[in-house]
A and B are shown apart, each in its own frame.
Chain A
Amino acid sequence: MTGLTGNHMGMALTVDDLDIENVAFFGYCASGDFRLQRCKENGLLRYPPTTRCPFSGSANYDWVSVEPRGTVYSYNEVHHAIQPAFKGKTPYMLLLVELDTQKGKPSEHDGLRVAGNLVTPDGELAPPEIVKKVGIGSRMRMVLKQVGEGIALPMWTLDETAQQPAKPWRYPQE
């Protein structure tokens, strides 16, 4: 195994073989299984991948499957892209989605806030009419976007099966 390589919208992605945490994370995503590290000492999950548990300092963990659903905690909406891959794709959204799992633990201020773009159910950056529907409070489900052999990225799409808020919070100026 020599790490991972992928290509996402023309961006070259690489994960070194020594970076075993990211290799495992993106590798599980590629197999359609969203997994996070769970500390063997305190049973707490963490995101993004780390070499030790931020709460116990332990280096011992298991990779466990996590229900990939949650609520938009905050976001940005880019209208002026700077990365070449995103030029011509504006507006696009970066979502921080707080998972239902482990919300408010270990302290009330903690949560698993997983980054990803707002995408359509088939994993393409969402068009402006969908962007306008999403804000803080929107219910989301994960889409795993394949970007190469054995590598996929977590993305977020509106959860069609969930009750959506009547009016998710959005920046007042459209």
Chain B
Amino acid sequence: MATQSDIDASSPKHLAGKYSIVGVGETTYTRGGGRTTRAMATTAIANAMADAGLTHDDVDGMLSYSNGDSTPAPFIAGDLGIRLNFYMDVYGGGSSTEALIGIAMGVIEAGMCKTVAIFRSMNGYSQVRIGGTGARAAAPVRGDEIHSRGYGWQSAGQMFAPSFMRHMYDYGTTPEQVAMVKVVHSEHASNNPKAYYKKRYTVDEVLSSRIICKPLHLLDCCVETDNATCIIVTRTERARDLKHRPAVIRSVVGRCCKPRIDMHYQHGPISTVAGHYAKNILWPNAGLGPEDVDVTGAYDAFTFTTMLQLEDYGFCKKGEGGHYVSSGITRLGGKRPNNTSGGHLCEGYTHGMNMVIENVRQLRGEIDDSCPIGPDGKRQHTYDYREGGCRQVKDVEVTANLGWANPGTGSAMVMVKG
């Protein structure tokens, strides 16, 4: 029987390089910021427009995603004086970022609008808790949910844990190896003035933090924060006239799924995640492979999610993810740093947006660390990765973002220096 994975989903190659990210912006990453999602979204978009050198007359498309915990695009556009030719508010969390970037390319290609602002605004700490605590945990259990929530199987960590456990069982992956993801991302965050948590952690500190849901300790889990983030997509041709060197999109994959996504554990190996399928779209469309990538942004909802994705997208052999993430490769100064902002484990939780924003800045060579600003107004990067120091990677040409919704669904994107 032919399986769904045999289908060639590669797209016309003429789109590779045709679209770029030209502006990025965010609010501060806080807890209890005391702002509505509406106020935060307008700030993030205003910051991204200013970053791009665009005004409200230049942006005519808007995309957002949420789980019903944000403010719809029309209110945000109204506040900013943007007249929309296109908008859509999509349901979803992690893995939406790259998927919406692909949708933005599609609607511009279709002639529906010219420039799209993608935003995610969330009070993930002070309103709808991303950890799933609060009102959502207490809601009645209906229909299909009985097969999961009825068993106390609800939060992201609880839902993903069987994949994580099975990876340890199948490949001998150790808690110490996986804890290194947090250690490395915390080092990166210590060089990121925006990060919510800037403290550097050790493997022992991760493993001695309390267990939330085996195999996850508290420090294997991401932070819950309040923030908004924005990414602006337009044609690369148009991007040439704007303020920064564009981050050129070579390839994008959106919410690619494993079989039986109604309950993906029915189809194994469950220690394999959606990247196993997504890589067959990502790399051929980009005309590049993992060995060409300088910086990765592998979604770190948990330490394990980073490892599983790097492995299934082919940055190491299957089963060697534990070694890969604990080898020093993913650290600033290593061969291929991952999540140089500190990511979701440390900088703030945005459902994927901040990892794309970080890679855009890496490609520009304009990471916002503490390095001194020179007479040309640009940071003079020292490439010294001591605590509190630089976090710009040298000579970044290619980045890869690996977005995660759950073990069965992922999105991804390859960008190159414009």
Contacts and interface: CB of A to CB of B under 8 A. Distances in A.
A112 interface: yes
A2 interface: no
Nearest to B136: A82
B90 interface: no
B152 A83 contact: yes
B70 to A, nearest CB: 22
Contacts of A75: 161-162, 165
Interface in A11-34: 11-16, 19, 22, 26
A26 B146 CA distance: 10
Given A13-B150, A74-B163, A82 B155 contact: yes
Nearest to A74: B162
Chain B facing A: main interface SS: mixed
Interface string B268-280: 1110000000000
B169 A173 contact: no
A83 B138 contact: yes
Indicate the size class of the contact surface on chain B.
Answer: 35 or more
Contacts of A74: 162-163, 165-166, 169, 265, 270
Contacts, number: 148
Nearest to A78: B213
Contacts of B202: none
Given A115-B153, A171-B165, A48 B262 contact: yes
A13 B146 CA distance: 7
A49 B262 CA distance: 10
A74 B304 CA distance: 16
B207 A173 contact: yes
Contacts of A100: none
Contacts of A65: none
A61 to B, nearest CB: 15
A26 B269 CA distance: 28
3 A-B pairs with least C-beta separation: A76-B161, A74-B162, A77-B214
